[in-house]
A and B are shown apart, each in its own frame.
Chain A
């Protein structure tokens, strides 16, 4: 039997396979349940770190510039992501503000900080301090980071308001779009590769 390092278990049905080296655009599927076992990633550590740093800059833009602004009869107003979290926090529904804050601000921020920390050390072929903890948090945070939903939400909000007043998408919206795409690419499952290379 192979050493456990060269095996892979389908997380959806428990079948055991040997790992294979994938070429570009290839992925392996489980024979029994059809789940994806391995997917070609093709990003080196340098590229991932660079994308993470870029994403961190976009995070700053997305959070400090208004996502959109509106005007009604000469009055103007604009809102950042944080403003929209605050808008939910009034009254008896504060709890939902916390969920929103986690899913659109805090979880992505933590993901980026952890990624930069872990990848920065990985660049020097070292495991960062607290590597185990960081990797497990990356795994835990993934489902709760919902920036792409936020992006669609912002677009729906534009349409919702466009009927009653003038809406102007802001820099924040553009940054949000880029950031959500970057996060899909860098914070996905393939971070786990670091366990094998370090």
Chain B
């Protein structure tokens, strides 16, 4: 397949902050234009992505098991988890809202775990399988990343509004903290992953004749 030359082959490097094409002769540490650190690949990308991902996965369990808010109505209180909120909407016939919350809060983090693990494992194996599709998957994960924050903000607004003491009171519960942490850590995980690694083939395997003169 003919493809355009890569930055590595031309001795160039992209500055992630300002988008400048930097000449890497003399190995500069910082972008000459915006002074951001320069690196050909994000430093320690795979380890950092794994670390953030596993941290997020650990928080995902309490985020789903612990209650995210407590609703007190006329003296009777009830804790609700994220899933019970979804079920409640569903039972009241508001299937569209139930679907939005389900997608944003449960499906999106789940999809992120699966996709990021898949990307990490295939990159570590130096796989050449379905590269354009994997690149697309990464962009998808980046795009959907922060929508999971939805439930945190819903709980915040609802808790701020319903403050009628004995008549009715809604309070946030500790589950929402873990849930927010899941969102933050999956975002950090996706940010530390370097999609260019998908295209880097292990030098020994695919390009036995390519001299590494750059």
Contacts and interface: CB of A to CB of B under 8 A. Distances in A.
A15 B174 contact: no
A146 B157 contact: no
B69 to A, nearest CB: 10
Which size bracket describes the interface of B in this complex? 35 or more
Contact of A32 (B4, B34, B153): B4
A128 interface: no
Among B4, B33, B92, B191: residue with most chain A CB under 10 A: B4
Interface in A32-91: 32-35, 67-70, 72-73, 75, 77-79, 83-88, 90-91
Contacts of B89: 159-160
Interface residues of A, number: 67
Contacts of B162: 70, 77, 161, 165
B97 A159 contact: yes
B177 A15 contact: no
Contacts of B6: 13-16
Among B152, B173, B191: residue with most chain A CB under 10 A: B152
A152 B150 contact: yes
A143 B174 contact: no
A161 B5 CA distance: 56
Nearest to B183: A99
B167 to A, nearest CB: 6
Interface of A: 1, 4-5, 7-9, 11-17, 31-35, 67-70, 72-73, 75, 77-79, 83-88, 90-93, 95-97, 99-100, 103-104, 132, 135-136, 139, 143-144, 146, 149-150, 152-154, 156-157, 159-161, 163-165, 192, 195
Closest 9 CB pairs of A and B: A153-B153, A79-B160, A84-B156, A87-B160, A9-B14, A87-B159, A33-B135, A93-B177, A84-B160
Interface of B: 3-8, 10, 12-14, 16-23, 33-36, 73, 85, 89, 92, 94, 97, 100-101, 104, 131-132, 135-136, 138-139, 145-147, 149-164, 167-168, 171-174, 176-177, 180-181, 184, 187, 191, 195-196, 198-199
